[in-house]
Amino acid sequence: MGKKTKKEAEPPPKDVFDPLTIESKNAATVMLLLNSPEEEVLADVCEAIYRFALKGEENKATLLELGGVEPLTKLLTHEDKIVRRNATMIFGILTSNSDIKKLLRELDVMSSVIAQLAPEEEVVTHEFASLCLANMSVEYMGKVQIFEQGGLEPLIRLLTSPDPDVKKNSIECIYNMVQDVQCRATLQELNAIPPILDLLESEYPIIQLLALKTLDVVTNEKEFRAMLRDSQALDHLIKILETKELNDLHMEALSVMANCLEDKETMVLIQETVLKKLLSFAENSTNPDIQKNAAKAVTKAACDSENRKLFHEQEVEKCLITLLESENDGTKIAASQAISAMSENSSSKQFFNNQGIPQLIQLLKSDNEEVREAAAFALANLTTCNHANANAAAKADGIEALINTLSSGRNKVVANAATVLMNMATQEPLRLSIQTHDIMHALRGPLCSANKVVQSKATLAIAAIACDAKARTELRNSGGLEPLVELLRSKNNEVRNHASWAVMVCASDEPTATELCRLGALDILEEIDLSVSRKNKFSEVAYNKLLNHHLSLKYSKTGYLSSSNIINDGFYDCGRILIGTKFLPLKDLCLQEPSDLHTVLLVNSRSSDVYHFSAGFGSPTEEKSEPTSGHNTALSKSATKEKGSRKGRGKKEEEKVKEEEEVAVAPKLTGEGNTDKEWCPPSDPDFCVYVCEVTKSILPITNIREQIELLAKYVAEKMGGKIPKEKLQDFSWQLHISELKFQLKSNVVPIGQIKKGIFCHRALLFKALADKIGIGCSLVRGEYGRAWNEVQLMNEPQKGLTGAFSPPEFYIVDLMFHPGALMKLRSQEADLYRFL
């Protein structure tokens, strides 16, 4: 046998490149290898890029600049499993860079990343693919792409992965996505709650934390709360709360529980055990965040009346008062908010009367505006419809603190402080105390606020406090009426209504009413009442209240004066004025040359030597009255008072009449005499005589019906006597009036100088004289020069019933055809008198 020789190796094929080992330290060189067709090369290059990117943010930016991101995305769909895995690992790291995330969204590679979550892929692939999605889901558009590509379902499946990193990344991505309502709806369909609850048993706190945060978001919706209740989730939460080692998770667990407690069904399940533990956490924990979240849990649960009842039975009020004294502002805020919620329960509201309100008053002095806001809100709720709590706030020196709070720059603080002051002002002693603190000056700022809620609450406070003349004077002097009137123009219904209410209250005295009218309140209210959409009961009442202080304007606009609208000297009737027509002051009318315009009828029993005229609306300061409530008004109180004191008048009455007769002098018309003197309206000596005569002859009569009949005959006698219906056309009253205007050189004619008068003249004279001697009657303007007076009289006792009277009825007084006759208001005879 020959010697064996070693077999020589076969040479490589000629078309195959000999193996080449390259060692490169330049990233740009490595990027070129991403286009290699060799799987081993790609796997090694990806591994090298992963290590490079792991070193820091600068390296990630370098990879982006070198254009390596786009070729890497193509490797996510490579046939080789190792290449796909390594490429996925790179993107798990790179997506922490915002610029790379933006590029990936543009390249639309989300479906490729989601594909790496498939069950057949390696755990490492799952880990970095889920990390990539968690990073991408931080931004809204990333959430959208993940959702649209169906990423939620595989993420939920991976919550049961044996690898903790996969679980952590998956729940983090889900947490980010459930911030969107559409994602939450899908989460519910995929039954994600059970696997999320299982994560609460994890040995890794970060996974537990992310699971609790996710539950905290989704349990804001009722459907998820029901799912948690059915899954016994509260047992998991209680277990976490009872474990001291998990105190880092207590805050989130309490927050989830707070959401669950909003459901009545949940409260019923846990009232015996969990509520006590919850309150114990709130009261005994030294962690402010835990205390805060426990108080928030109470706040949320207390939205339901049954829950409030259960909390009260567990004496939650004591716990909340303890939290008010915490040094942490967040805890104080949460406790104040919980007290606000619990104040809806009457028993709880009563409990806070002696404890709680003083602490809340002290919180109003805090430097933290959020603390002041929460305290003011709690006080507003506690004092609403509760006089005892309003008194308690005042006793705790709350008035000064609340008024100081009105200057806060935080709108809700101001609005709530104004609400508390309004609640206090419903009691007269407290209202008077508030008025001693310059309250109207303090409310001027809120009235000028641009915030609608502040405006609304400020006007309500004005309405509550301005019940007294002193307060109204302070409001005028502080310049508060101007912004109040401006709020009547508000487009907000609530603000406009409340401003109207405040104007109505402020119009209770003439100086304030005059100033309101000067600022344009009357015009604005008239405009509101003409609007179908803006008109309201408050504006209507305010408008009438202001008109009651200027009867001349009221009669011109409405054509009606009630028995409580007492005509005083300086009243003038310039006829009906159309909407939008300017109402001229008496002085301006007196200065006009006589013309064929409507004659202005003036009532004035004072001499120009003693008359001091107020410039306000051109009406005297004496012209004022009580508000009217329509036709159904009883005889004025002044008439009753005068009748009760007639017997004791005697010589004093006669001396007064004599004095008035001496004062009556020749008419002093506008523009005549010394121009340096203050202007005064024309005097009316004849009317002065009328007043004296009816005071002497009619006032002493005790029978009201007889008084009315005699006064009617007296007025008819002074105005041309009885006029038969058939001769009414021949009664030349127009010529007489024209002669008077020419004689006086003015369109203004004193009523006493008219000797030939018809319906409108006689009705005005009757009303003016009746008001002087206390006979209650109204004045109504009709069409075509018609006007009449309505009186209310008691009927005679019914036959057979001793002392029984039928209800009072309204009558119209005949001053023309049968002077002194009384016609029932709804009778045919009365209709003929008024309309034919």
Listing DSSP states for 203-225 in one string gives: S-HHHHHHHHHHHHHHTTSHHHH
Sign of CA dihedral 303, 308, 309, 311: positive
Q: Which strand ranges, in their side-by-side order, compose the sheet holding 748-750? A: 571-573, 600-603, 748-750
- What whole-number distance in Å separates Cα of residue 735 and Cα of residue 738? 5
pLDDT in tens, 550-565: 899 999 988 999 999 9
What was the pLDDT predicted at 263?
Answer: 75
CA distances from 412 to 132, 303, 371, 778 (A): 43, 20, 11, 49
Q: What is the DSSP letter of 784?
A: T
CA angle 541, 544, 549 (to 5 degrees): 130
pLDDT in tens, 175-203: 999 998 888 888 888 889 899 999 998 99
Q: Which residue has the higher pLDDT, 62 or 642?
A: 62
pLDDT in tens, 135-150: 999 999 999 999 999 9
pLDDT in tens, 653-672: 444 444 444 333 333 333 34
- What whole-number distance in Å separates Cα of residue 212 and Cα of residue 199? 9
Q: Are the C-beta atoms of 402 and 420 separated by less than 8 Å?
A: yes
What was the pLDDT predicted at 282?
Answer: 72
386 has pLDDT over 90: yes
- What whole-number distance in Å separates Cα of residue 809 and Cα of residue 827? 12
pTM score: 0.70
727 has pLDDT over 50: yes
Q: Comparing 24-33, 71-80, 469-478, 564-573, which segment has the lowest mean pLDDT?
A: 24-33
- What whole-number distance in Å separates Cα of residue 776 and Cα of residue 794? 13
399 has pLDDT over 60: yes
What was the pLDDT predicted at 115?
Answer: 93
pLDDT in tens, 729-779: 888 888 999 999 999 999 999 999 999 999 999 999 999 999 999 999 999
Q: Are the C-beta atoms of 575 and 598 separated by less than 8 Å?
A: yes
What was the pLDDT predicted at 497?
Answer: 94
- What whole-number distance in Å separates Cα of residue 527 and Cα of residue 488? 10
Q: Which residue has the higher pLDDT, 57 or 402?
A: 402
Residue 612 banded pLDDT, cuts 50, 70, 90: very low
4 has pLDDT over 80: no
pLDDT in tens, 206-257: 999 999 999 999 988 888 888 888 887 877 887 887 787 887 888 888 888 8
What was the pLDDT predicted at 410?
Answer: 92
Q: Are the C-beta atoms of 481 and 499 separated by less than 8 Å?
A: no
What was the pLDDT predicted at 619?
Answer: 39
Q: What is the mean pLDDT of the chain?
A: 84
Q: Strand pairing of 748-750 and 600-603?
A: parallel
What was the pLDDT predicted at 116?
Answer: 92
Q: Are the C-beta atoms of 65 and 94 separated by less than 8 Å?
A: no
Mutual orientation of helices 398-405 and 428-435 as an angle, nearest 10°? 60
